[in-house]
Structure 1
């Protein structure tokens, strides 16, 4: 009896021991990939040690609103204690003459040194409106900086501090970056100097609203207020971008950060240094995105390219023979996937240089050479409109009228008809509204209301066709499709 109990216990002990060995082995197998993964993660310590001395904190002193508006403030009115006693009673009622606290510099951003003699790159919005700019170096020295030049369109500013033999960053090439590659940022978020954060490149050549001339690098590197103007490094310790913007709903980091490619920033810096302003290339076209329906209406294989909605008069595009309705698919050998790809490619071309475009016109591919012009400083103004006179009905459910001469001059429209009423039908489904001026339909220039009706009568019902309209002064192509009876 005891022998059986002993044998049973021993067998149970052996089983438990065996299970323990198996569990331990399984745990080791599970841990092995994690250990290997952690050992393969990049070590940023050497990069930070070598690069951080060239990263600076930027503080500014901003003029207050009262000082800007004060007739004495613009001349730097003295404090009361600086005025001799005999004169003080003359200034007793002037608020500018009363003792006031000295304004302390506020830490607003970051920057980095690009030359040993003291040139510093940062964002335009970091120093915009500043009375004084202070640069704090890695060794805790604070030096007043001179603003050499700023460029609002690219959000780049070039500063100069008086110093010699300064540490400098290594400048890389943003175009060599690959999506998924490790990158690292050094800056002063919330005023905490030389804070290091890391992540990967999430996307390249990203277009942002109202940022036409910068193909941003998107990353998931933690960027917060104060990081603006700081460098973005690759694993070789080279600067590949300037941290500029974040996408946020909370005011803090949410995993979407955007950096200005260093290629763009250095080109801007060179122009600011040599001529004090930035010159950009210009075609003189208004473009729009090509969606699926427009691609079908223009006979394209896929929705890609920049659709020319308007060719501006006396522009390089007009001189080159570019037409409204052309789809630009490549510029100087670079493919145009999105319409937002075109402006920054054109902008980086030196004015007066000949460039080549690939376009699709009437379903046919052709090459057009253009001499790129100089981007003007002022944009075009849009006008309001109001329809007049009786109209003609057509099968789109639209009522149109001849375009009056004053509107032709106001909006620079050569020909077309004005929509005065929109009923249920293909026009309404396409998004046409009263007040739109229809200038082209299915590739045919519209001259009169009668001709427009004839073109409408000949429209096919099996596919989308392009319609060009001018709405509140802005040209736009929309796809139009008649329902089959």
Structure 2
């Protein structure tokens, strides 16, 4: 995850206000708006719901014992003159002013089993020597770390209560609709038991992780809410609050939650095995452009194309072949190269899965059996992109995952891309594989087959490098970025991409 993604992580910056004005112009009369809202919430009392759910949400703190340089650790601060300033100074600095309480992180979590199993974010408990969980009753218990998954920023803890704890259940985030009401409960700025109400403002958001599929919400989420639950109106957990978009680190109404459809399976695996068990099918895939679809005999650019088969991988020897276009995996439609890794990783290891493909213009279904990816460090790219298997059991550097931003879809400049767009062998950088009409990239004349060589005079070699550099510039207040771009024949040009 990017360092700009807050704890939730310090904040990603950037937001506009044009949408507020545009939406306001479209609102129905005031009386009608009130009627719609009243009708939507008429069958549920937020107060009753909060009273039921609050006992299942916990506060989490960590400490790093025996640290001789405790004073060098970052200590939460409140700006001068703001509410709670004195409280925070007393709590974190102590009487000697040296920060003698070794608390270095405050976050949230929620109980999923009465025996004391708790879910939170990995970044909340990362590098902890001890972990403490404070229940809604005020009782504090020592927690044991059962396992983590840093690719999705999840962690599972275990406490030993004297009596069963109130637990909540995961809901099905696949049924969540944009505009649906949701409730977030957590520990913002150490103020435990805070409840906020909002709606699902978007789905399928991607930040930096290989399996990102975040739910976006405008329910207020701040630092300390990390790891807390996002509930639907049935009181089921449909997300784990993880990150915020903010120029200041405080809520501006854009928060992100790991969806339960992804989290529940990972949590179950951590509880059972102590780690995640992801599958892979050993193929590298490409986004399907109109030209590529036509060359492979497809009528439209749906799905992803198999660029290569990994030697020794699950698909070595069939049934997938180079040039196949994968339309769906185990019933899940594939819209982009990012979809396949997630669906394969969530699938059943060792069990055949139906894969719908187009081969030489003919639609057919084959069965592929995912195998366990033994090295968890390869989990960022193993299912779809596949890592080059080496004789010694290691792996080559994994290829970068495709990235979409400002209307541009970016991919690795590999042999397939060079051949498809006839790119000169001397050109190095990041391949543009798609450009949305009327986007910022299209406005600058960028086209598929062009290569981004530099971002603000810094050479780039992966899609993630391009995104991270642009996100950093946004965080610094930049509204445009200079790109050096190479045409397939190697001719260089400079364009200024407007960041709006």
Shift of the 101–241 alpha-carbon distance from structure 1 to 2, 3 Å rule, reads: closer
Give the match's secondary structure for 1:225: coil
- Cα gap change, 1:257/1:330 in structure 2, threshold over 3 Å: closer, same or farther? same
Q: Which of 343, 346, 362 matches 1:345?
A: 343
The RMSD of aligned alpha carbons is 3.7
Q: Structure 1 length as normaliser, TM-score? A: 0.64
Per-residue deviation, 1:287: 2.2
Task: Supply the distance in 2 between the matched residues of 1:136 and 1:318 (Cα, whole angstroms).
Answer: 51
SS at match of 1:33: helix
Which one is further off, 154-163 or 363-372?
Answer: 363-372
Question: How far apart are the structure 1 equivalents of 2:289 and 2:416?
Answer: 24
Give the corresponding residue for 1:153.
151
Find the counterpart in structure 2 of residue 391 from structure 1. none
Q: Give the drift of 1:291.
A: 3.8
Separation in structure 1 between the aligned mates of residue 64 and residue 288 of structure 2, nearest angstrom: 44
- Residue 179 of structure 2 corresponds to which residue in structure 1? 180
Q: Say which structure is richer in helix.
A: 1
Cα drift, residue 186 of structure 1: 0.5
Deviation string, structure 1 residues 17-46 (Cα, Å, up to 9, x no partner) = xxxxxxxxxxxx965324424533524111
CA distance, structure 2, for counterparts of residue 354 and residue 139 of structure 1:
48
Please identify, of 289-298 and 147-156, the stretch whose mean Cα deviation from structure 2 is larger.
289-298
**Following TM superposition, where does structure 1 have runs of at least 4 consecutive aligned residues deviating by more than 6 angstroms?**
415-419, 464-467, 471-474
2:426 paired residue number:
434
TM-score (norm 2): 0.62
Structure-to-structure mapping, 1:185-200, within 5 angstroms: 185-200=184-199
Q: Secondary structure at the residue paired with 1:272?
A: helix
Gaps of 5+ in 2: 1-27, 71-97, 379-394, 400-413, 429-446, 451-459, 464-486, 490-500
In structure 2, relative to structure 1, the CA distance for the partners of 1:383 and 1:146 (3 Å cut) is: closer
Match of 1:318, SS state, is coil
Report how many residues are paired. 351
Unaligned runs of 5+ residues in structure 1 are 1-28, 69-99, 385-412, 420-425, 437-463
Q: Which residue of the other structure, out of 51, 54, 57, is the alignment partner of 1:52? A: 54
Which residue does the alignment assign to 1:72? Answer: none
Is the aligned partner of 1:61 residue 2:63?
yes
Contact 1:382 1:472 in 2 (8 A): no
Seen in structure 2, the aligned counterparts of structure 1 residues 51 and 432 have a Cα distance that, compared at 3 Å, is farther
User: How far apart are 1:364 and its partner, in Å?
Assistant: 2.4
Contact 1:214 / 1:264 at 8 angstroms: preserved in 2?
no
Matches within 5 A, 1:272-421: 272-377=270-375, 378-379=377-378, 380-382=395-397
The answer to whether the 8 Å contact 1:290/1:339 transfers is no
Q: Return the alpha-carbon distance in structure 1 between the equivalents of residues 222 and 228 of structure 2.
A: 11
Matches within 5 A, 1:130-149: 130-149=128-147
Q: Return the offset for 1:102.
A: 3.9
Residue 103 in structure 1 maps to residue 105 in structure 2? no
Asked if structure 1 preserves the Cα contact closer than 8 Å seen for 2:303 and 2:328, the reply is yes
